[in-house]
A = this chain, B = another copy of it.
Amino acid sequence: MPLTRSDVLDATFALVSEEGLAAVSMRAVASRLGVTPMALYRHIGDKQGLLDGVVERLLLEIPLPSPELPWRDRLHALAAGIRALAHRHPDVFPLLFQRPATTPAALGARDAAYAALREAGVAEGTIPRLERALSTLVLGFAASEAGGRFGAEAVADYDWIETLVLDRLVNT
């Protein structure tokens, strides 16, 4: 049976997990699939297309919180899911800063945040701006934690600032 885009991404993700982002090459992925490098181009475009596929898979790993939870717990759970993702894939995570946040795979987490903010009583016109601010906040912390910008014993205080922002949300 012919190769599929999904096969290629499976192989890429396995390679990333085992040997890191630096080990991802068209040739290495192809060899894992028992195929010529050129066979990949039909399915994922070029190497940038391959990386886009990896980001897509990454975003789908973020667990969406149960809608029954209070809005504040849902936002906290989303943030925790993103930070856990960064710790599982520290070397791939920075890719999220260079790719648009509007890809189909990113919509799940974004819409969950929208719904929580709506329920928190945030004005409809403010929700998108606020979601952008919050997601940027979480991404920045997750990347710093996972990239080891600070030593293990000197982590940045994410919870402190999350509480601060969410408290302010309640009082407005």
A70 to chain B minimum Cβ distance, whole angstroms, is 22
A156 and B136 CA atoms in complex are apart in Å by 7
In the complex, A96 has a CB within 8 A of chain B: yes
Contact partner, A148, options B100, B137, B155, Cβ 8 Å:
B100
How many of A's residues come within 8 Å of B, CB to CB?
36
Copies in the complex: 2
Given A94-B97, A100-B148, the answer on whether A168 and B164 have CB atoms closer than 8 Å is: yes
Overall SS of chain A's interface: helix
Contact pattern, A 142-172, Cβ under 8 Å of B = 1, otherwise 0 = 0110011111001111101100110010000
Q: Which of A1-9, A37-45, A127-135 interfaces with chain B?
A: A127-135
Contacts from A to B (Cβ < 8 Å): 94, 96-102, 128-130, 132-133, 135-137, 139-141, 143-144, 147-151, 154-158, 160-161, 164-165, 168
- Would you list 26 pairs from A and B whose C-beta atoms are within 8 A, ordered by A residue? A97-B147, A98-B147, A99-B149, A100-B149, A100-B150, A129-B157, A130-B157, A132-B154, A132-B155, A132-B156, A133-B156, A133-B158, A133-B160, A136-B140, A136-B141, A136-B144, A137-B137, A137-B141, A140-B140, A140-B141, A140-B143, A140-B144, A161-B165, A164-B164, A164-B165, A164-B168
